[in-house]
A and B are shown apart, each in its own frame.
Chain A
């Protein structure tokens, strides 16, 4: 168990509605990441954080925002969901000691 959870695990929402996905880690890691996984694209970085209130954009950040008010929580928000944001979303933290990322179980989001 890598000590990282995501909620909800599944969500269906309508186009235009706001959606927030939560990532929670229990090991006090500074670096956290949000990815989306789509067929033919692998894992693409949406946003990442290198500390409380310190975040930066990844390669597919349009339409997404993040917040990190506590070390253990990293929130991903879709301000107005679109069908192109239907995907599986993974959160991860980076262990700076080993330079490895550990992933949560994923959230399957469907935007209808």
Chain B
């Protein structure tokens, strides 16, 4: 059973606009969340993370929001750039655990 879900397989956004990628999880025990970015023929690379004690974390153009009551997190990219075109995976873990649980990914296309 998928514990981390990304319900939008793809998203297209105009350059300069905001991209919002969404992720839902089912296990309320998860206390650490991450976003990874993946280009074709490369391994995923870490983008940004957030712990459950926070509801927002910002790093340059990237902001992750966490809504624990809704078991939902989102990644905002502002402004979107063509180089942001990639597949984005969200992931969740327990800080004391050993495993990461990944969503199915959202393919973002930023149109110049």
Contacts from A to B (Cβ < 8 Å): 31, 33, 35, 40-45, 48, 50, 56, 58, 90, 92, 94, 99-106
Contact = CB atoms under 8 A, between A and B. Distances in A.
Interface of B: 6, 9, 32, 34, 36, 41-46, 49, 89, 91, 93, 95, 98-105
B58 to A, nearest CB: 17
A99 B95 CA distance: 7
Dominant secondary structure of chain A at its interface with chain B = strand
Given A31-B98, A45-B99, A100 B49 contact: yes
Given A42-B89, A42-B105, A43-B89, A103 B43 contact: yes
Contacts of A106: 41-43
B77 to A, nearest CB: 19
A25 to B, nearest CB: 12
